[in-house]
Amino acid sequence: MALGVGGSGVLAGCGGGTGSTTAVHGGVLRFGAQGGASTDSLDANNVLTNTDYARASQLYDPLVRMDDRGRPQLALAEAIAPNQRATEWTIRLRDGVVFHDGKPLTPQDVLFTFDRIITHNFPGRYSLGTLDIGASKVVDPHTLQLSFSSPYATLLDGLAAHWYLYIVPVGYDPKRPVGTGPFKLVGFVPGQQSVMARNPDYWDQPKPYLEQVITINVADETTQIAGLSSGQFDAIDYLSGASARVLASLEGSGTPKLIISNTTGGWAPFTMRVDRTPFSDVRVRTALKLAIDRPAMIESVFQGYGQVGNDVFGIFDKAYDPDLFPQRHQDLEQAKSLLNAAGYADLGIELITTANAPGETLAANVFANQVGGAGIRTSVVNQPVTPYFANSYLKVPFSQDYWPFWPYLTNVSVDTITGAPFSATHFSDSRYDNLYTEALSTTDARLRTEIVHEMMKIDFEEGGNIIPYFFPVIDAVAPHLYGVEPTVTGQAMRTFQFQEFWMTK
126-137 pLDDT, tens digit per residue, is 899 999 999 999
Q: Is 324 exposed, middle or buried (0-12, 13-18, 19+ CB in 10 A)?
A: middle
Residue 12, pLDDT above cutoff 70: no
Tell me the average pLDDT of the chain: 92
Distance from C-alpha of 481 to C-alpha of 478, rounded to nearest angstrom: 6
In a domain, 399, yes or no: yes
Q: How confident is the model at residue 39 (pLDDT cuts 50, 70, 90)?
A: confident
Q: How confident is the model at residue 321 (pLDDT cuts 50, 70, 90)?
A: very high
In a domain, 219, yes or no: no
Q: What is the mean pLDDT of residues 37-62?
A: 93
Q: Kindly report the CATH number assigned to the domain that includes residue 445.
A: 3.10.105.10
Q: How confident is the model at residue 2 (pLDDT cuts 50, 70, 90)?
A: very low
pLDDT recorded at residue 21: 63
Distances (CA, A) of 235 to 25, 28, 131: 18, 11, 39
Distance from C-alpha of 133 to C-alpha of 462, rounded to nearest angstrom: 36
Q: What is the mean pLDDT of residues 313-318?
A: 95
Distances (CA, A) of 238 to 7, 16, 499, 502: 28, 17, 20, 20
Strands 64-66 and 72-74: antiparallel
Q: How confident is the model at residue 3 (pLDDT cuts 50, 70, 90)?
A: very low
In a domain, 498, yes or no: no
In a domain, 477, yes or no: no
Q: How confident is the model at residue 253 (pLDDT cuts 50, 70, 90)?
A: low
Domain extent at residue 330: 270-470
Model pLDDT for residues 198-248, shown as the tens digit of each residue:
999 999 999 999 999 999 999 888 999 999 999 999 999 999 888 888 898
pLDDT recorded at residue 254: 76
* C-alpha closest to that of 273 among 392, 418, 425, 416: 425
pLDDT recorded at residue 156: 94
Total domain count, the chain: 1
3-state secondary structure of 236: strand
Type and span of the H or E element at 109 = helix 107-119
Q: What is the mean pLDDT of residues 467-478?
A: 96
In a domain, 331, yes or no: yes
Distances (CA, A) of 36 to 356, 415, 451: 8, 22, 38
Residue 282, pLDDT above cutoff 50: yes
Q: What is the mean pLDDT of residues 159-171?
A: 95
Type and span of the H or E element at 131 = none
pLDDT recorded at residue 315: 95
pLDDT recorded at residue 36: 86
Model pLDDT for residues 254-269, shown as the tens digit of each residue:
789 999 999 999 999 9
Q: What is the mean pLDDT of residues 474-484?
A: 96
Residue 56, pLDDT above cutoff 90: yes
311 or 13: which leads in pLDDT: 311
In a domain, 406, yes or no: yes
Q: What is the mean pLDDT of residues 109-124?
A: 95
In a domain, 460, yes or no: yes
Q: pTM score, two decimals?
A: 0.86
Q: How confident is the model at residue 159 (pLDDT cuts 50, 70, 90)?
A: very high
In a domain, 138, yes or no: no
